[in-house]
Amino acid sequence: MTHGVAHGRSPTPGLLFGLILTLAAVVAYSHYIDRQIASLRVLQSDLVDRNRKDSLQLLRIQNNLNQLGLAMRDMLDQDRAYPLLAWSKQFERIRGDLDDALARQAELAVASRAPADRDRLSDSLTQFWGAVDRTFALATDGREDAARAQVSLSLQARQAALSTAVARLLIENNEAEEQTAQRVQAIYDQVQRQVYWFFTATLVAIAATGLYVIRANRRLFAELAVLSDGRRELAQQLIATRESTLRHLSRELHDETGQILTAIGSMLGRAEKQTPAGSPLRADLREIGEMAQSTLNDVRSLSQTLHPSILDELGLESTFDWYLGTVEKQLGLVVSYERTGVAVPVDATVGIHVYRVLQEALSNVARHSGADRVWVRLRYLTGVLELEVEDHGSGLGERTTRRGLGLVAIRERAELVGGTIEFVRPDEGGTLVRLRVPLEEPEAQDHAPGAL
């Protein structure tokens, strides 16, 4: 029987494409996340942090302007008779602090602010300090009333305008900070959505790849199952053909060649009797007869080795007794044989395979193990026939490659009879071959009443 196997396309290109696609997606998504993180870093460092530091400098400027406002209010207080020049040192100190704060604020001002907005505060402060210088010049000339009028009419108005401008800048910073926070939140939301989409796409890709692998594996395992069935059937046919050929050769040797040699021996015996007692021919005929008898014994031994007829006639136990008795002379092994359990009839097909396993195991011991002693145990258990062949030689590991075909043959024969085969290492070293074959329990005979 011929089995046809349809060879499908290899799953390797599809899996490789899926791997490349997944890696490309991971790289692209990593690049996208890196850009988003860089954008967040820019927003945080260049906008949020600078905006907050800028607001701190604006608050510093506003505090100085408030101090100027309080000083100008004190300058116009009629209850105090201090000359205006008494406040010049305070104004100089505030001026130095304002210049420093203004310079820092100019460095920290956000890039989104228009240049005119950044310059307007500096110009207003320059004009304010110009008015302050003129006021203190009037006071120096002794024109206190004109100087106070300058404070009331010009300086206070300019200070209020400056405070309003700084307040407006603070409001702009707050609005910019809120807008930046919204942009950051929008980026976080976008990244979160992209993460969800990426995870979804990754799970879909993994699921698709997994389904593809499962489908490819199922197809491959189906093909392997077909090949295994075909191999098993072929092995059965080969073993059956081998046994049939050996049986045929054994019968030919036993029947045809054995009968011919027997006839030759008989003819030589009659010729010897008809030859005179003192004739040299009589001794030659006797020698030829002995050679014919020796050849007949060898042919019968070879016939039994090819296929023991004793197995069909007397059963497995007698076959074991006969074969193990010849092993020491044939293979040079000392065999310790042990049989336990209640013997049950064994089918001839099962028996020949168990016998071949014993032959192959002992042959491997003689050829490869280096041991000169072997233990053979045949056990009849409940529903199971167990055969063990144990040696304490070099072990299976050192000779596996050299007796691979023998192991394959043993495994095939075990499968053919529905049994199991084990190769284990005893505590003493070497190899233990254990064959377990299921046996059909003999059914009890039912005797009906009145039966003969």
Q: Is residue 347 part of a domain?
A: yes
Do the Cβ atoms of 385 and 379 come closer than 8 Å?
A: yes
pLDDT tens readout for residues 305-351: 776 777 777 888 888 888 888 888 888 889 999 999 888 888 888 88
For residue 136, the model assigns a pLDDT of 86
Q: Is residue 145 part of a domain?
A: yes
The SS3 of residue 142 is coil
pLDDT tens readout for residues 74-87: 888 766 667 888 88
- To which residue do tokens 């053979």 refer? 376
Do the Cβ atoms of 321 and 335 come closer than 8 Å?
A: no
Q: Is residue 276 part of a domain?
A: no
Bridge partners of 390, per DSSP, are 375, 432
For residue 249, the model assigns a pLDDT of 78
For residue 387, the model assigns a pLDDT of 93
Amino acid letter for position 341 = G
Q: Is residue 269 part of a domain?
A: no
Q: What's the domain count of the chain?
A: 2
Asked if 327 and 434 sit in the same domain, the reply is: yes
Task: Choose one of 165, 180, 213: the last residue of a domain.
Answer: 213
Q: Measure Cα distances from 91 to 64, 78, 128, 359, 437 in Å.
A: 10, 20, 12, 120, 114
Asked if 186 and 319 sit in the same domain, the reply is: no
Range of the domain at 401: 308-438
Q: Is residue 240 part of a domain?
A: no
Asked if 22 and 129 sit in the same domain, the reply is: yes
For residue 451, the model assigns a pLDDT of 38
Other CB atoms within 10 A of residue 307 CB: 22
Asked if 70 and 184 sit in the same domain, the reply is: yes
Task: Choose one of 181, 213, 245: the last residue of a domain.
Answer: 213
Task: Choose one of 213, 237, 265: the last residue of a domain.
Answer: 213
pTM summary value: 0.49
Closest CA to 321 of 355, 297, 364: 355
User: What is the CATH classification number for the domain harbouring 365?
Assistant: 3.30.565.10
Amino acid letter for position 387 = L
Asked if 183 and 48 sit in the same domain, the reply is: yes
- pLDDT tens, the chain, 452 aa long: 444 444 456 667 766 777 787 778 778 877 777 777 777 776 666 667 777 788 888 888 889 889 988 888 888 876 666 788 888 898 999 989 988 888 887 777 655 555 666 677 788 888 888 988 888 898 888 888 888 888 888 888 888 888 888 888 888 878 877 887 787 778 778 877 877 887 788 888 888 877 888 888 888 888 888 887 777 777 767 777 776 777 677 677 766 777 787 888 888 778 877 877 777 787 777 788 888 888 877 777 777 677 677 777 788 888 888 888 888 888 888 999 999 988 888 888 888 889 889 888 888 888 888 888 999 999 998 889 999 999 988 876 544 444 456 777 788 888 888 889 999 888 888 889 999 999 876 554 344 444 33
For residue 441, the model assigns a pLDDT of 63
Q: Is residue 273 part of a domain?
A: no
Asked if 28 and 162 sit in the same domain, the reply is: yes
Q: Is residue 245 part of a domain?
A: no
Q: Measure Cα distances from 78 to 70, 75, 262 in Å.
A: 14, 8, 163
Q: Is residue 219 part of a domain?
A: no
The SS3 of residue 3 is coil
H or E element that contains 337 = strand 334-340
Q: Measure Cα distances from 49 to 55, 115, 152 in Å.
A: 10, 20, 39
